[in-house]
Structure 1
Amino acid sequence: MKAIVLKTHGGVENFELREVPDPEIGKNEVLVQIKACSFNPADYQIRQGGPETNMVSSMILGRDLSGIVLKTGKKVNSLKAGDEVMAYSSIMGSNGSNAELIALPANILGKKPKNLSWSQAAAIPVVGLTALQTIKQTNLKPEQNIFITGGSGGVGSFFIKLAQHFRINNIITTAGSEKSKEYLIDLGLKAEQIIDYRQEDLVRKILELNADKYFDVCIDFVGGNISEIAAGVLKIKGTFVDIPFLTTSTARTILFNKSATVQNIAIYSNALTEEAELRNQFSENLNILSQLFEQEVLEPLPVNEIGDFSVKTVQTGHTLLEQNAMKGKLVMRIN
């Protein structure tokens, strides 16, 4: 098969197209022909040698994908050749999704929504699984007051739509432009649920939107300085949800002083065990999302098809993410 391989960690110039051996499947695995893959911030962070680098065994990067099952292992009963699937490969695949083929455990694959294109399906797994795990792991309830940073981002916007499905509507979030505010209103938020994070005295103004009450739950989808704001508006012994693992030392001090419960959301955590029950959650959650898309409870994410299978497309995807210049989920078409 052909694959885009990272020769060494560093810049985007280190990618090259290679012919590599087709992956072999085990008895509980399937071989998938990849039709599309999307790019995520973790991709360029791993390329640069970031925190997740040591967890990745292949120099073929990429984790979101959609495709067709070509072959199944002897003990696989849940899937058959010809099935259309989507997956978050993480550290569980033979390689990453910047390739023509991938071998994956059958219990991490979900059914591709029938009403979505390959590119739309490839944009779902990371953001969808992160949003759903956030709701499940933190046991969010409709009566709670929730503050989130970065609501117009990929995971943030997906979280808002999913939360609305579960009748979790007491949400206030940040926006940095009129365009972002309009997008959030299109998602179903009211203008009074959105605050411009560029203002001074932001903590006080956020609390004013919540009737001068501190929040039960604060979810940080961004990290950096805004994590300090999220920590600042959290109530004593409230729950702080860390998605990007980029909170500052000041934010961590505020959270410690408030005796906060900190929930870390790492969707690859279930991949660190061989326990079938935890591994199966990948497939179960993807199939929940697939049904919600087919029932049109959820709408497809905005997708930007930046090119066909090539080194140039991968370089473009990484560069746009690094520069925070992307519009919609960036997708590469394959085959």
Structure 2
Amino acid sequence: MAHQFQKVTATVGSEENRQILLGLGLKSDQIISYKEEDLATKLLKANNGDLFDFGIDLVGNYMSEITAEVLKINGTYTDVTALVSKDAHEILFNKGILIMNISNYSYSMNKDYQYYKGGLENISKLIENGTISPPNYKIIGDLSLDTVLKAHSILKNNETQGHKLIMKH
């Protein structure tokens, strides 16, 4: 998986996530804690001092700025958060970066629920045949407004500890 790329550098916020990436084939020097000071410099050092062609931002806000900073002119920034800061947007624009927005909820806007069903069926098959392992998960409560608010707080404060959050129905 990750080892198929020539050079990948990833950031993590926990030792558990570091271990997951090591298990996927990344080497220790390719994984950097995003809690480190001078993160942009450490990312570039891990990439032999070179700016990156691609950046995938799974966090937004401050990380959108770091990601923008370490990208090459005319690089590609992939955003899955809709949390790009104003400063990051300015850097991305000035560097002529191609911005790709990935929004899985967009299918629900057109009531295209088959998209989600098909994806879940494919994942189920991959788990059943042993190609992939299911993720760790935490059941955080029954489906309710309070549980949704709790889930948002856990996500916002990066307290998932590598687990998917599940609400029971």
| Same-fold status (TM-score > 0.5) | yes
Asked if 2 retains the 8 angstrom alpha-carbon contact of 1:165 and 1:297, the reply is no
Distance 1:319 1:195, change over 3 A: closer
Q: Is 1:304 aligned to 2:138, yes or no?
A: yes
Q: Which residue of 1 aligns with 2:98?
A: 261
Q: CA deviation at 1:248?
A: 1.0
* Residues 1:329 and 2:164 are matched in the alignment: yes
1:241 correspondence with 2:78: yes
Structure 1: state its 5+ residue gaps.
1-163
Query: 2:74 touches 2:98 (CA, 8 Å); kept in 1?
Result: yes
TM-score, with structure 2 as normaliser? 0.80
Q: Structure 1 counterpart of 2:65, which letter?
A: E
1:1-335 alignment, distance < 5 Å: 164=1, 167-168=4-5, 170-273=7-110, 280-308=114-142, 316-327=150-161, 328-334=163-169
1:169-210, CA deviations, whole angstroms, 9 ceiling, x for partnerless residues? 632111234444234323432101101223333223212211
The root-mean-square deviation of aligned C-alpha atoms, in Å, is 2.9
Relative to 1, partners in 2 of residues 1:285 and 1:212: Cα closer, same or farther, differing over 3 Å?
same
Q: Aligned pairs, how many?
A: 168
Structure with higher helix content: 2
Residue segments in structure 2 that go unaligned for 5+ positions in a row: none
Distance 1:249 1:310, change over 3 A: closer
Which stretch of structure 1 is more off in the superposition, 218-227 or 315-324? 315-324
Q: Deviations over 1:217-250 (max 9, x none)?
A: 1000001111111111111111100111111111
Higher RCO structure (Cα 8 Å, ≥6 apart): 1
Please list the CA deviations of residues 35-64 of structure 1 after superposition, one character each: whole Å capped at 9, or x if unmatched: xxxxxxxxxxxxxxxxxxxxxxxxxxxxxx
Instruction: Summarize deviations over 1:74-132 as a string: whole Å, max 9, x none.
Output: xxxxxxxxxxxxxxxxxxxxxxxxxxxxxxxxxxxxxxxxxxxxxxxxxxxxxxxxxxx
2-structure distance, mates of 1:243, 1:333: 25
